Chains A and B, each alone.
Chain A
Amino acid sequence: MSRYEKLFEKLKDKNEGAFVPFAVLGHPTLEDSEKILDTYIESGADALEVGIPFSDPGADGPVIMTADRRALNNGANTPRCFEIVRKIRAKHPDTPIGMLMYINLVYRPGIENFFRMAAEAGVDSVLIADVPVEMFESDGLPWAKAAEENGIDLIFIAPPNASDDEVRKIARYSKGYIYLVSRTGVTGAGHEAGHPVARVVNMLKEMKAPPAMLGFGISQPEHVREAIKHGAAGAITGSALVKIIEENLDDKEKMLSLLREKVSSLKAATRSQA
């Protein structure tokens, strides 16, 4: 049983949703990054979502884009990011860790090599933001083989405008969980999430797809409650947390205490289902 399967089973027994915070690895610095991930877990995060910063993050809004730039300027690179993940894995053996990646950082080191490095660091899943199911199926690159051989779940995004055919493929190819998005645009808290699209949620349930978690625009506890109320198994928050980091670069204690507060309140919202 994978860490995700165990997690969702446990949450089901407790009648809770999942809360998953996102962080840019190496942001704001390599040292702080590890402390931030520890803080997320200590504050109730059910799983972690992490990304290696990229020079050209085309699916991200200004908050994550700035964080990526800052992390790269402060020395983040692929091996150093995996080193952070390895340390987190050693301290938290049961917490699922997912990676949110851009394709060039997976392709360039060699796809099989990348997945091997990820597995060695203790990563559970990889979502590549710019590999749609159409490319996954037809480009002849060894995505499925590399993931399977290294025991890593591939995750796909289910956007609100996906055709029925696409939803079926997303359900079929995703393991671990499905990343549900309810609105158009890029990541960021400035543009709030809508309700999960009922058509997509229902199709995924009918197909017995892995649990769907809603991301993009989740910044407040009520967003988490709404997501779960409308059929999501949990919610993912990125920009709202990264913004707290950005606003408190000069006071690390305050940064960690505000993150603790925020993650706790977002996690609490997964428990308060009437």
Chain B
Amino acid sequence: MSILNPFFGKFGGQYVPQLLIPVLDQLEQAFVEARDDPSFQQELSTLLSEYVGRPTPITKCQNLTKGTKTTIYLKREDLLHGGAHKTNQVIAQALLARRMGKTRVIAETGAGQHGVATAIACALFGFKCRIYMGKTDVERQKPNVVRMRLMGAEVVPVTTGVGTLKEACNEALKDWAENFETTHYMLGTAAGPHPFPVLVKHFQKIIGEEAKQQILKAEGRLPDAIIACVGGGSNAIGLFTDFIKEKDVKIYGVEPGGLGVETGKHGAPLGHGTEGIFFGAHSYNMQDDYGQINESHSISAGLDFPSVGPEHAYLKDCGRVEYVNATDEEALAAFMDLSRHEGIIPALESSHALAHALRMARNNPEKEQLLLVNLSGRGDKDIFTVTKILEERGQL
């Protein structure tokens, strides 16, 4: 039996084979003990400041919103070691894995950012490391595959289905069901069976806690709205958690609209999916009337997922967070805008959040508004994908 409540309202849970319950219980136990252990907190905090690079700054955009009365601040998770917010919670999970006496770590990855973070932690802690990554993603996020391999991780391309994040998640869970005695499954997002959504949130909420203090210091007030992209939902829940209680702050989660939600080629289960139980949790899925899971689509591998973390399902239903979407085209435009006008190349994932912020600015040029966007990762991994598109269009 779990110690903490595995549900967010009716969402969440622990829908896994009976075989995996004891190992989820073991992880929860280790998490609950470590959370309140000063020596664990001390070690984590030292690693975060001296190795990972916390705190990250917030950056006020200088040129991006010219011609409007909107001010945009970026929370610079792209500056972390590894290049994305993923490193925050991976370091914490590595400490937990060591506490549990595990010697091997497995993980799923989409964009490769979580895979890179996992490879970093495994190199640092001396764990054997295997990363499951869909074959399509191995192709489109090559630089991250190289980085993982350089740091000693074994990258296994998953060839089933269309070969994206969903298939990688399935394979990681299967590996865990076989090898849980020695192996920790370092799940990369605030999704999956309990305790992962709770655990990942706990170690990502530092994003919002820092950003809140930073923007109060810079502007003397809270932002009007905060915005993050949502794939599984870890950078979003990390930004949102400390702002949930601030009722005057609007919160937007931006799902990938892909080729447009009307085409069905998207990755927006919150906005355009239905309730179901998949990947260990009750949440929203892209699925048919019988419960078969559909393939998602997004230009960004990290958001290309047909389900979402259960707490986001809860926050949608209770109305605290508004979930919108940005298409591939809108994300690409935001990617170009930030690169050209601010000298920051964002991850295609984070570009979705930025696209919504720019939409808010341009739709209301006369409105004075203060927006905070989570720039969850940097875009080095995406330069080949973007270059190819621009060359095909004769724009580069």
**Contact at B18–A133, with CB atoms within 8 Å?**
yes
Known A-B contacts A56-B166, A156-B18, A184-B180; A139 and B13 likewise in contact (beta carbons under 8 Å): yes
Interface of A is mostly: loop
CA distance A27 to B169 in the complex (A): 25
**Contact at B290–A108, with CB atoms within 8 Å?**
yes
Known A-B contacts A55-B292, A58-B173, A134-B2; A108 and B287 likewise in contact (beta carbons under 8 Å): yes
**Contact at B292–A54, with CB atoms within 8 Å?**
yes
**Interface members, chain B 12-30 (any A CB < 8 Å):** 13-22
Interchain nearest-CB distance for A192 vs B (Å): 13
Measured CB to CB, the nearest residue on chain B to A68 is B292
CA distance A140 to B274 in the complex (A): 19
Contact for B160 among A65, A77, A160, A162, CB less than 8 A: A65
B383 at interface by CB-CB < 8 Å? no
**Interface members, chain B 190-227 (any A CB < 8 Å):** none
Interchain nearest-CB distance for B192 vs A (Å): 11
**Contact at B19–A181, with CB atoms within 8 Å?**
yes
**Contact at A186–B178, with CB atoms within 8 Å?**
yes
| Interface size counted on chain B using CB atoms at 8 A | 40
B289 at interface by CB-CB < 8 Å? yes
A166 at interface by CB-CB < 8 Å? yes
**Interface members, chain A 175-223 (any B CB < 8 Å):** 181, 184-186, 191
With a 10 A CB-CB cut-off, give which of A54, A103, A156, A165 has the most chain B CB atoms: A103
Would you mind naming 25 contact pairs between A and B with Cβ atoms under 8 Å apart?
A54-B292, A56-B293, A58-B17, A58-B174, A59-B177, A65-B160, A103-B277, A104-B278, A104-B287, A105-B292, A106-B291, A108-B290, A130-B277, A132-B15, A132-B16, A134-B1, A135-B13, A157-B18, A159-B19, A161-B19, A165-B1, A184-B178, A184-B181, A186-B174, A186-B178
The 10 A-B residue pairs with the shortest CB-CB distance, nearest first, are: A108-B291, A185-B178, A159-B19, A104-B291, A105-B291, A132-B18, A78-B290, A55-B292, A55-B293, A130-B15
Q: A interface vs B, CB < 8 Å? A: 54-59, 61, 65, 69, 72, 77-78, 103-109, 129-135, 139-140, 156-163, 165-166, 170, 181, 184-186, 191
